[in-house]
């Protein structure tokens, strides 16, 4: 499969990653204010990451 506009695809992916990274600060602030244990935070983050990886590669 050949990508017709690789620069556009690359820029779009960078924007998506920046949006996820930026929103993670707000979500982590809300979670720590709710006094959720660190193990549960990392567990949920791992589960979400594994789900995204599964969607992308399968």
* pLDDT score of 51: 94
pLDDT at 30: 87
User: What is the pLDDT confidence band of residue 1, given thresholds at 50, 70 and 90?
Assistant: low
3: pLDDT confidence band, cut at 50, 70 and 90? Answer: confident
Tokens of 51: 């789900």
4-58 pLDDT, tens digit per residue, is 888 998 999 999 999 988 888 888 888 889 888 989 988 988 998 899 899 988 8
Using CA atoms, how far apart are residues 38 and 58, in angstroms rounded to an integer?
30
DSSP state of 34: T
């Amino acid at each position: 499969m050949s990508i017709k506009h690789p620069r556009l695809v690359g820029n779009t992916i960078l924007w998506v990653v920046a949006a996820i990274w930026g929103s993670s600060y707000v979500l982590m602030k809300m979670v720590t204010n709710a006094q959720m244990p660190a193990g549960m935070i990392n567990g949920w983050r791992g589960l979400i990451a594994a789900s995204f990886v599964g969607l992308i590669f399968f």
